[in-house]
Amino acid sequence: MSDHLSVPDLGPAPGTGTAQARERLLACAGAGLLRHAVDPEYGGAGDGFHELVAAHEALGRRSRDPGLLLAVNAHLWGSVFALQKFGSAGQRAAWIPKLLDGRAIGGHAITEPQAGSDVQGLAATAVEDGDGYRLNGHKRFITNAPLADLLVVYARLGEGGPLSAFLVQADDPGAGFRDGPVVQGCATASMGDVVLEDCRLPKTRLLGREGAGATMIQLALELERAFVFAGLLGVMEWQLEHVTAHVRLRPSGDGRLADVQAVAHRVAAMKLRLDTARLWIERCAALCEAGRRITLASAQTKLYASEAFLDNSLDAVHLLGAAGLQGELPALVQDALAGRLLSGSSEIQKNIIAALLGLGGRR
């Protein structure tokens, strides 16, 4: 990795708080970590998805902070890549350089209080109003909302109309990017509600085509699902090393815990899950670099990697015995529970895989 793309030394994860979340995200921007796989015309590194995966893995290993990793992913897949793919030349030039160097923080707002998995149930509206749009609605569980400058917000063109995407700024009149409600898991990420009350936007804030929102959500989530666990590979590596060192030292009978086959098998399973998750993520990187679709591979990757992180997090606590309930290992179990839900739950990934096999018509 070249110098400008190095990983910042962030130290251990701090407590929660918007100021700390911003500071750590800015440190990543300052180290060039947000530039991978982005066009150099807009300040990107012009490299590929393999470099992105390697950088995220290194960040995960160094920070051991799933909240920070979540914030980075929401910023990238929610706004940077959505702009790169769907933005007009003017929108890309205005926003991407700022999002890469930390002058702006982004994310995307899809979920609403009454609709998470069920994207058909989204109800926020955008109504044409003179030479612009008027947005109303309520979004929930939006990563980076309290510190975001810009969010890609999905709303229906009129009640029951097709979904469209809009660039909403924190300082737009009628837009509220709020803090909370707090969820357990990925605690250092900042999360909140987005409340739109007659939020008036000029036409230039439409992202992509009118009515193309459903496709745009799908493409944004495919990238998120493919790569959101890349950083967590680094965390899983640390878990494995921590546990291995412990069982090698811990006396058991006239040997060590590591000599007990049931214990060694549990560690072997952790290693297999880690390496298999990495293979899936690298497969997605290869497909993206070849310009291929990742609908199936990204669902398989998200499903496998999120379940693997949860299983490894549970095994790590268990293998340390009661000492596993001290320190940072238990929080990773909560992080892994959040990981199974965000970006589409495990059941939703199975629905996608089944649908691509022509199965599971009744959802």
Ligand X SMILES: Cc1cc2nc3c(=O)[nH]c(=O)nc-3n(C[C@H](O)[C@H](O)[C@H](O)COP(=O)(O)OP(=O)(O)OC[C@H]3O[C@@H](n4cnc5c(N)ncnc54)[C@H](O)[C@@H]3O)c2cc1C
| 116 touches ligand X (CB under 6 A) | yes
By rule CB under 6 A, what count of residues binds ligand X?
Answer: 25
Q: How far is the CB of 30 from ligand X (least distance, A)?
A: 23
Of positions 32, 60, 106, 107, contacts ligand X by CB under 6 A: 107
| 302 touches ligand X (CB under 6 A) | no
Touching ligand X, residues 135-164 (CB under 6 A): 141-143
| 187 touches ligand X (CB under 6 A) | no
Are 213 and 154 within 8 A, CB to CB? Answer: yes
Of all residues in this chain, which one has the CB nearest to ligand X in the complex?
116
In three-state secondary structure terms, 228 is coil
| 110 touches ligand X (CB under 6 A) | yes
| 207 touches ligand X (CB under 6 A) | no
| 341 touches ligand X (CB under 6 A) | yes
| Span near ligand X by CB under 6 A; candidates 21-29, 107-115, 155-163, 292-300 | 107-115
| Span near ligand X by CB under 6 A; candidates 202-210, 280-288, 291-299, 336-344 | 336-344
Which of these, 181, 108, 162, 169, lies nearest to 343 by C-alpha position? Answer: 108
> Which residues carry out catalysis?
224
DSSP string for residues in 108-151: EE--BTTBSS-GGG---EEEEETTEEEEEEEEEEEETGGG-SEE
Are 71 and 144 within 8 A, CB to CB? Answer: yes
CA geometry: angle at 57 spanning 346 and 284, to 5°?
55
Q: What is the distance between the alpha carbons of residues 113 and 291, in angstroms, rounded to a whole number?
A: 35
Of positions 7, 105, 109, 331, contacts ligand X by CB under 6 A: 109
| 74 touches ligand X (CB under 6 A) | yes
Q: How far is the CB of 360 from ligand X (least distance, A)?
A: 9
| 363 touches ligand X (CB under 6 A) | yes
Q: What is the distance between the alpha carbons of residues 199 and 126, in angstroms, rounded to a whole number?
A: 9
Q: How far is the CB of 267 from ligand X (least distance, A)?
A: 28
Of positions 117, 215, 244, 334, contacts ligand X by CB under 6 A: 117
**E strands present in 52-209:** 108-109, 125-129, 132-143, 150-157, 163-169, 175-177, 191-202, 206-207
Please report how many Cα atoms fall inside a 13 Å half-sphere around the Cα of residue 66, on the Cβ side. 30
Comparing CB distances to ligand X, the nearer of 164 and 257 is 164
For 24, 30, 38, 86, the CA distances from 234, given in Å and listed in that order, are 17, 20, 22, 31
Q: What is the distance between the alpha carbons of residues 69 and 231, in angstroms, rounded to a whole number?
A: 6
> Where does this chain bind ligand X (CB under 6 A)?
70, 74, 107-111, 116-118, 141-143, 183, 185-186, 338, 341-342, 344-345, 347-348, 351, 363
